[in-house]
Structure 1
Amino acid sequence: MAKTPSEIWKDKIIQYRKKCQGIIGLSKSIRYVGIVNSYGRTLTGIVRPNVKPLLKSEQVKNEFFIISTLMTLRKDTVSAVGKLDYVLLQHQKVSIVIFQKDEMTYYISIDRSAKNIDKIINIIKKTI
């Protein structure tokens, strides 16, 4: 029996959730892993237990909208500059690493105190 579109969607969300769980398990320095669609809507996200989120709900919505808009607009430049590897945003408290795969954006925050951020990014790239 064929799956309904609703069942297919639920299966996809479960796959994304498992992917997030795998990524957050790669390093204790990873604070948050989320997958956002091209409209800035969070499909799934995991905050590391005992980690206090830095952004309020409305701030998160705005952040994801900005990131999804950036990623969507960048599609036009791929032929000129090549495929995007990742985006790294360095803040005082956290580093944000953004990857894109199959129209989905992976938004990952990492403690700024992490000594080996390049290593963490390379491990995440292999996982995604």
Structure 2
Amino acid sequence: MVKTPADKWKDTVIKYRKQCQKILQVSNSVRYAGVVNAYGRTLTGMIKPNLKPLLQSEDFKNELFVISTLISLRKDSVSSVGKLEHVILQHQKITILILQKNNVTYYVSLNRKEKDLENIVSSIKKAI
């Protein structure tokens, strides 16, 4: 049986969702894991149970748009500086980890107090 484009899309989203679940299991410090397309639209995302989101819905959409714009603009410099490995944004309350793979962006928020960030980044890269 031939898969329709809708079936292929559904399978892709399920794959991303499973990856987000793996990311959430990497550490207790992981608050949120999501996958965003090149236009800043969330393909899937999940917050750790019993946690309250820090951003309102519209603020979060704006955050993802800014991140996707940053990633898109960086594509032109890949030949000069190399492929982007990851981005870490340190805020007063949380740390944001941004990874890119296969034209999608993984957006992960972590508790700010996490001390072993390097190992978490490595584990998340293996999960995706």
The normalised TM-score by structure 1 is: 0.98
Q: How many residues align?
A: 128
Residue matched to 1:71: 71
Residue matched to 1:2: 2
CA distance in 2, matches of 1:44, 1:66: 18
Unaligned runs of 5+ in 2: none
Unaligned runs of 5+ in 1: none
CA distance in 1, matches of 2:14, 2:122: 24
CA distance in 1, matches of 2:75, 2:114: 31
CA distance in 2, matches of 1:2, 1:56: 41
CA distance in 2, matches of 1:2, 1:119: 41
Amino acid of the structure 1 residue aligned with 2:32: Y
Q: CA RMSD in A?
A: 0.6
CA distance in 2, matches of 1:82, 1:114: 28
Paired residue secondary structure (1:25): helix
1:39-84 CA-partner distances (Å, limit 9, x unpaired):
0000000100011100000001000000001101100000000000
Residue matched to 2:41: 41
More moved, 81-90 vs 111-120 = 111-120
